[in-house]
Amino acid sequence: MKRLFNRSYFFDQGIHFECQQCGVCCTGDPGIIYVGKEEVSRIAEYLSVQVSFFIEKYLYPIKKGYSIREHADGRCFFYENRCTIYPVRPNQCKTFPFWFANLRSAKKWKRLSKECPGIGCGPLYSKEQILELIQSNMDAVVKSHLTNNDILNG
């Protein structure tokens, strides 16, 4: 990680961002929404349901972990004009748009900026904060590859 901090990026001066909760990234093309072990328990608790019920109704297995189900049109199961689990949304959603895949080139970021109205608004995220968010997102994806049994058995 130290090596990453010492390098120079197109976002060295930071990036302004504030989610406008428009839902663009929660709808549209289908995608994987990884949910880690602690996140499964946290969201189930927020919804006041049993973990096993939550998994069966809202998640599907992917690799060795789980992803949130989507409607046929690609809309996240928890998006109803707004995110209905916003305070406990998965790390993957919390760290968007600061994902490695989005920040790997200025061109990719520019393209995303046209879709996400939060980019350019709100507080300034420093290069260090952005790199930490990228790392946190990557860690969460790795963690979510726990076996399904690990999650079900707590």
Nearer to ligand SF4, 116 or 130 (CB): 116
Nearer to ligand SF4, 37 or 95 (CB): 95
- How far, CA to CA in Å, does 41 sit from each of 7, 50, 67? 37, 9, 14
Quick one: tokens of 49?
Answer: 């349901």
The structure tokens 């809309």 sit at 75
Nearer to ligand SF4, 67 or 92 (CB): 92
Beta carbons within 8 Å of 116's beta carbon, 6+ residues apart: 24, 25, 97
Residue 75 contacts ligand SF4 per CB under 6 A: no
Residue 113 contacts ligand SF4 per CB under 6 A: no
Q: Which of 117, 126, 135, 146 binds ligand SF4 (CB under 6 A)?
A: 117
The structure tokens 């090596």 sit at 3
Q: Which of 9, 11, 23, 146 binds ligand SF4 (CB under 6 A)?
A: 23
Binders of ligand SF4 among residues 79 to 98 (CB under 6 A) are: 96-97
Q: Which of 15, 25, 55, 151 binds ligand SF4 (CB under 6 A)?
A: 25
Distance CA 71, CA 80 (A): 11
How many Cα atoms occupy the beta-carbon half-sphere of 154 within 13 Å? 6
Beta strands 119-125; 34-35: pairing state: unpaired
Residue 101 contacts ligand SF4 per CB under 6 A: no
Binding site for ligand SF4 (CB under 6 A): 19-25, 96-97, 116-118
